[in-house]
Structure formats: structure tokens, C-alpha cells
Structure 1
Amino acid sequence: MIPNRAAVSAAVTVAEAHGVRVREPVVLNDSFNLRIHLRPAPVVARVPTVTALGRARPADALAREVAVASFLHAAGAPVVPPSDLLPAGPHVHHGVTVSFWAHVDHDPGHAVTPDAAGRALAGLHAALRGFPGGLPRLGPVLDEPVRLLSALAGSGVVEPDVLALLRDSHAELTARLRDVDGLQAVHGDAHPGNLLATPGGLLWNDFEETMAGPPGWDVACLLRTTRLDGRAAVRAYGADPDDPGLAVYVAARGLQGTLWVLARAAHSPQWLPAARQALQAWLNDPTGMTRALR
């Protein structure tokens, strides 16, 4: 995995090569990706770190993210746009992939209400129906977990028998999801943490898991969140949180999230407690419905 120092250096080098002066790069977030505010410029660099483990070509995911966010911004949808101070990318510098985004003032402590989250997702889906580009069919749901399962083998984070259970669950869910219809461009990771509260209102952020998928996938992401009352948010979206058709998406979302936190722990041991908790929750209820019923 790319060291943080190399990631920051690459982001600064590419930005300055395009005329953006950087005096004080500040890491805003270091979890699955590294996000760096290139102060004093109003630019945020995104570098895939843990997420690169699940993607054969991380630059492809960033390119799709830039394309979708650019389309939405041009259409007037409430999203964090790519930077207009330099080409958004993605750029690759010495093996480090980076994209550039506008830095927006926001309140990280703002509690998004269920009603606001549900209405925001409904509006996003309406805007995304017009996206003209090609997107992978459920790629982050069907394909990326295969790479994560391979990365976890021999990591010591997951026992072989538990890894086999995770593999079997993914195979079963893949069989159920391959023939779903009603696909359109969807966010892919539509939880309230990807809504930024700005002075001008809520802005959607983080489209790197955007894909061609059923809108029910994003609804399941919202239903499973622990940041707010997911059931109320789904009703505000205009859907029934008890719709049996959501069950397969809820289960697949639960598995997907579990694999990502396990992969993060495999490379950053400080995340092991969170990973063990997530794995135990999945083992207790692979359907994911216990969390969705809270």
C-alpha cells in the first residue's frame, strides 16, 4: 500500500506542475483513501490507498468518479465538483494515482436528518438517470469483493474457515444479483457520511463506487446506516423499508462493508478492533437485516 508520505508528495508535485501553489498540505482523512487539502489552494487531492486493494486499475474508478461528478455538477445537482484550478485527473505520478476536487467549507458535525437524507437521495437518482456514460454493471458489488477475498487469504486477519464462509456468501449473492434489472447510474456508497453540510445546503461527495445498478442498492446503503434512522430516511426517499426486494441488497452491502474493513485492518493494525466487531456482526447475521431493523 502507498505510504502517506509518498501519496502527499505525489499530490503536491502534480498540483504544482499545473500551477497550483501548495504551502501546507493537510491530511483531512486517512481511512480507505487519503484526502489532502492542498492549502492555501481550495483543492483536495484524493489518493486511493486501501481501496486500491479491491481494484485492478484504481485510476479507472477515479475516472468514473470524475465523469459522474462533472456531469452532475454541470446539470446543477448538489455535488462536490472536481477542481477547476487544474485538470481533475486521474493522474499517475511514480505509481501514485491522484484526482483533484474543489475544497468546500462544510460542518463535519452537522447531523443530517432522515428526511433530508432520503430526499437528497431521491433527487440524486433523478439527476443520475440522465448520465450518458458507461459504468460497470454492479462492479463494486460483484467484482471488487473477489479481489478483497484474495487479499485477505493468508493475511492473518481472518481464519481460513471464516474466509470460506465469506467466499460462499459472496458466490451465493452474486448468483442472485447477476440478473437484476432496472439498472441506472447510482452512487454506490449512498450513506449520510457522504453528504457534506455546506452553507448552501447538502452536497453529495465520494462517487468512486458509482456503477450501473438498481436504485435499491443505494436505498439499502441508506437503510443500513447507523448515522441516522435509516428506515425513516428510506420512507422519505419514497420507498418501503420493509420491501422484500431490498433484502438481497442489504445482505450484499453488509458483506461488502465487512470485507472492506477487514482489508483495511490487514494493512493497518490499528483498525483490527473495528474489523473484528464488523466480522462478528456479519457472522451473527449475514442477512444484514438486524442492523437494518434498528
Structure 2
Amino acid sequence: MISRSAAVSAAVAVAREHGVRVLEPVVLNDSFNLRILLRPAPVVARVPTTTALGRPDPAEALGREVAVVSYLHGAGAPVVPPSELLPPGPHRRDGVAMSFWAHVRHDPGQAVPPEVAGRMLAELHEALRGFPCELPRLGPVLDEPARLLDLLARPGSRLVGDGELARLREAHATLAQRLGGPVRAVHGDAHPGNLLATPGGLLWNDFEECMAAPVEWDLACLLRTTRLDGRAAVRAYGADPDGPGLRAFLAARGLQGTLWVLARALRFPDQADRARAVLRTWLDDPSGATR
């Protein structure tokens, strides 16, 4: 696994090579990815850490994200843009993949009204209609969880028992057969935590799971959130939160989230108890309705 110090050193080195003055790198967040503010430059480096566990080539996902967000920014959509102070990437340095983004001041405590979140998701989907490049079909929903299941099955993991792992695998295989419907470019992780409240308004962020999928996937992300009334948000989008077409995607979102929380506990052993609690919740209700 990539250490925090190695990731910071690699990001600082790449930025300096491109003429960016970095004096005080500050870690903003280290959970699924490492985000580093390269002070005094208004640049944030994103380095895959936990997410690298489910991706054979983390730089590939970064490249898709940069392409999608560059397209949306050029079209005037409300997104946190890639950095203009150096090529956004993806870059590789000393085995570390990274991308670079504009630093945008935001208020993480500002609540997003559900009606606003739903309408903004509908507008985002409309803006994505013209994206000209091919995206992987349901890759973050099907391929990445499969890799995480293999990771959790390795000797020494101890987070998941054999019977629990069998249930997780069975659910993944079943859902893979149920996730049908026409696909299009979607955000991939469209919960309100990825809508940043900035002085210039709400901006979508974190497109690393962008993919080709039915829009029901993004709606399931909204429906499962605990940050707002997901049902109201889905209605504001123009969809029925009780629609039968959402059920499989809601279950898939619940499974995906459970696996990523378990994977994160492999990097942060002090989070093992919380990860086990999330797993127990899923085992009690694999429909994804319980959060």
C-alpha cells in the first residue's frame, strides 16, 4: 500500500517539476483517496489510496475523471475544475498515480436541499449527454467489487468470515444479472457529499467513478444517502423513489458501499469495528434500504 508520506512527496515533486510553488503541503483528507492542498498554490492533488485496492490501474480512473470533468467545465456545467496551473494528469511518479484540481473554498456543513440535489442531478445528466468518449459499462459497480471480494478473501484478512464472504459473493453475482437497462454517462457517486457549497454556488465534485450506466444508479446513490431526504431528491429529479427499476440498483449500491468500507479497514485497522457494523447491517438487510 502507498504510504501517506510517499504520496505527498510524489505529488509535491510533480507539481514543482511543472513550475508550481509548493511550500506547505497539507493533507485535507485521507480516506478512500488522499487529497493534498499544495499551499500556497490553489491546487489539490488527488492520490488513489484505498481506491487503488479495487482498481488494477488507478491512473486509468483518474484519466476518465479528468476527461469527463474537463468536458463538463468546458460546457459550463457546475463542477470543480481540473487545475490550470499544471497539466491535471493523470501523472505517475515513483509508483504513485495522481491528478491535480483547482482548490475551491467550500462549506462542508451547509446542507443541500433535496429538491436542489435532485434538479442538479437531472441537469448534470443532461450535460453529460454530449460526452464524446466511451466509458466502462458499470465498471465501478461490477468489476471493482469483484476485486474487493478477492482482496477480502486473502489469508490474513480476518475482517469477513467464510460464510459472510459467500453471501457477499452470491449477492454480487445475482445483482450482476439484474442490473439491466439502457446506459449513458453518469456521475457514478452522486450523493450530496459530492455537491460542494462554494461562494459561487453548488459544484459537483469527485467523478472518479464516472461510467456508462442506467441513470437509476445515480438515483440509487441519492436515495441511499443519509445527508438529506433521498426520496424527495429522487422525486425532484423526476423519478419515482418506489419504482421497481430502482430496487436492484439500490441493493447494488448497498453492497458496493459495504465492500469499500471493509476495504478501507484494511488500510486503517482502527476502523475494523465500524466496518464490521456496516457489514452486519448489510447482512440483516441486503436490499440496500437500511443505512
Same fold by TM-score greater than 0.5:
yes
Per-residue CA distance 1:109-140 (angstroms, 9 max, x = gap): 11111111111111111101111111000000
Counterparts in 2 of 1:165-184, with a 5 A limit?
165-177=167-179, 180-184=180-184
Per the normalisation by structure 1, the TM-score is 0.97
SS in 2 for 1:143: helix
Structure 1: distance between partners of 2:235 and 2:176: 27
Report the equivalent of 2:163. 161
SS in 2 for 1:239: coil
SS in 1 for 2:260: helix
Report the equivalent of 1:34. 34
Following TM superposition, by how much is the alpha carbon of 1:105 offset from its aligned partner in structure 2, in angstroms? 1.1
Q: Decide which moves more: 273-282 or 16-25.
A: 273-282
Report the equivalent of 1:109. 109
Residue type of the alignment partner of 1:30: D
Following TM superposition, by how much is the alpha carbon of 1:176 offset from its aligned partner in structure 2, in angstroms? 1.4
Per-residue CA distance 1:217-240 (angstroms, 9 max, x = gap): 000000000011111111111111
Counterparts in 2 of 1:1-294, with a 5 A limit?
1-153=1-153, 154=155, 155-177=157-179, 180-291=180-291
Identity level (%): 73
Per-residue CA distance 1:155-208 (angstroms, 9 max, x = gap): 11111110111001100101112xx23211000000000010011110000000
Structure 2: distance between partners of 1:274 and 1:80: 31
Residue type of the alignment partner of 1:262: L
Q: Which runs of 5+ in 2 are unaligned?
A: none
Structure 2: distance between partners of 1:223 and 1:282: 16
Structure 1: distance between partners of 2:244 and 2:181: 16
Following TM superposition, by how much is the alpha carbon of 1:290 offset from its aligned partner in structure 2, in angstroms? 3.5
Structure 2: distance between partners of 1:233 and 1:270: 34
Deviation beyond 3 Å, 4+ runs, structure 1: none
Following TM superposition, by how much is the alpha carbon of 1:266 offset from its aligned partner in structure 2, in angstroms? 1.6
Per-residue CA distance 1:42-85 (angstroms, 9 max, x = gap): 10000000000000110000000000000000000000010000
**Superposition RMSD on alpha carbons, in Å?**
0.8
The answer to whether the 8 A contact 2:25-2:36 is kept is yes
Structure 2: distance between partners of 1:4 and 1:290: 33
SS in 1 for 2:274: helix
Q: Decide which moves more: 264-273 or 78-87.
A: 264-273
SS in 2 for 1:23: strand
Structure 2: distance between partners of 1:61 and 1:147: 15
SS in 2 for 1:123: helix
Per the normalisation by structure 2, the TM-score is 0.98
Residue type of the alignment partner of 2:7: A
Q: Which runs of 5+ in 1 are unaligned?
A: none
Following TM superposition, by how much is the alpha carbon of 1:107 offset from its aligned partner in structure 2, in angstroms? 0.8
Structure 2: distance between partners of 1:17 and 1:270: 36
SS in 2 for 1:61: helix
Structure 1: distance between partners of 2:42 and 2:119: 29
Following TM superposition, by how much is the alpha carbon of 1:267 offset from its aligned partner in structure 2, in angstroms? 2.0
SS in 2 for 1:290: coil
SS in 2 for 1:28: strand
The answer to whether the 8 A contact 2:281-2:290 is kept is no
Residue type of the alignment partner of 2:266: A
